[in-house]
Chain A
């Protein structure tokens, strides 16, 4: 048994070395074995490069459909206390919660409904600022009493239950931890949705390879579990805590 094992190891080593030698020999121009000809390399690259382009550039472009939001919303402007004083809160997160509020039963309202906007923008005739976006908003939605059909970047699929209040209020997490610096943007990015799964791009993350450097780069199950584990809350990795 022992011998067999060691001999098989040897052969594999031998195989590898010889393969390696081939490449070496090509680079050194050795005549030991007929090297891959230049033509073979051209073909190899002709296969390699386009497929890299397909995989890294074309596929991601084709995979996601792009949809503009119905209108722009300037988060930075609204959260700047020097410009807008109606949005109260001591911390950034509290100011987020002013509009993205918790309901009385603790559920998270998500993207605010028109009613919330009307708390400040109550008169379609008198804009509070000077931006064309606000004018559009007042004419198109406030005057017509129409809800804005916002597209949600962060909607989890139907099988997921996510409790905002458990994370923000009890877990003391900042909005930024998962949503990044959305609150500081001036323009809403286009809503990109995976054509195959119907998920927003922000679930898998904007990096097609799924690399993440920040906590908010990705919103997959592993990311939830990773954070729970890091924070010594492993019991929250039980299936039903996040699934319904």
Chain B
């Protein structure tokens, strides 16, 4: 395999919150793609698993000036510094080496068969992107629901942590296709996540942040681009866009007067 060494790709995502309509298709596309367990009691939010989760926020103004907006939240796939000093917070705490960052793609992996279920990573993640399987995946005998499970993702057992993988199997799928066509490199459109593909408003863009040709690396240059809890220095690879100040302000905990609205827009 002719692959260049070390941090060539940095896959990331840009979510345009102005376009996001809060429909929840991304959540379901994700759950359907990744064999995420469904349970009858998942209407209790403490018992549900949602790799991609929608957060609803309001501007808090009185009727009829109320506005609602949504934050779709996948795993942020926090970045490393490339020298092994700075790691995503979940990776640095994992005692079982079950979660690691792939230096080549920037994708943070989670290996269920390796996970011992200590939930340290869950505590370390500031975004709540990690979910613990308190129960076995719910496929009762005779219901037949297991028939829609995809063989590309391994169903999880009780007692392990799981999270968004940026649909890593789709990267492997794209590579396999490329190899079949005698290519070793894949095009931008060949690897995208299930949520980005499904979004009916085309609010989610996925691609290689290192590649200036990719749409994501252009989008993150926007003055309206921001990341969640940026000042924790977690270096998320998921960016958001919003022209609304109140939405951008929600992305971090600002002291009074600390938040700087975008005033000058160029380009």
Chain A: residues with CB nearer than 8 A to chain B?
A: 102-107, 157-159, 161, 163, 165-166, 169-171, 233, 235-236, 238-241, 243-244
Report chain A residues within 8 Å CB of B165: 240
Indicate which residue in B103, B109, B114 contacts A235 across the interface (CB closer than 8 Å): B103
Main secondary structure of the interface of B (DSSP, over half): loop
CB pair A106–B103 under 8 Å, yes or no, is no
A161 near B172 (CB under 8 angstroms)?
yes
Bound: A233/B112 CA distance, A = 24
Is B1 interfacial (CB-CB < 8 Å)?
yes
Provide the B1-22 mask, 1 if CB < 8 A to any CB of A, else 0: 1110110000000000000000
**Bound complex: CA of A102 vs CA of B177, how far in Å?**
10
Q: How large is the interface on B (under 10, 10 to 19, 20 to 34, 35 or more residues)?
A: 20 to 34
Q: In the complex, are the beta carbons of B176 and A239 less than 8 A apart? A: no
Do A233 and B1 contact each other (CB < 8 Å), given the known contacts A169-B179, A170-B184?
Answer: yes
Contact with A along B143-155 (1 / 0, CB 8 A): 0000000001111
Pick 18 A–B contacts, CB within 8 A, sort by A. Answer: A104-B180, A105-B176, A105-B177, A106-B180, A106-B181, A159-B154, A163-B179, A165-B180, A166-B1, A166-B179, A169-B179, A170-B179, A236-B3, A238-B100, A238-B104, A238-B105, A240-B165, A241-B102
Contact A107 B176 (CB under 8 A): yes
Contact A240 B176 (CB under 8 A): no
- Complex interface: chain A residues within 8 A of B176 (CB): 105-107, 163, 165-166
- Are A171 and B1 neighbours in the complex by a CB distance under 8 Å? yes
Q: How far is the CA of A236 from the CA of B5 in the complex (A)?
A: 10
Measured between beta carbons, the chain B residues less than 8 angstroms from A244 are 152-154, 168-169, 172
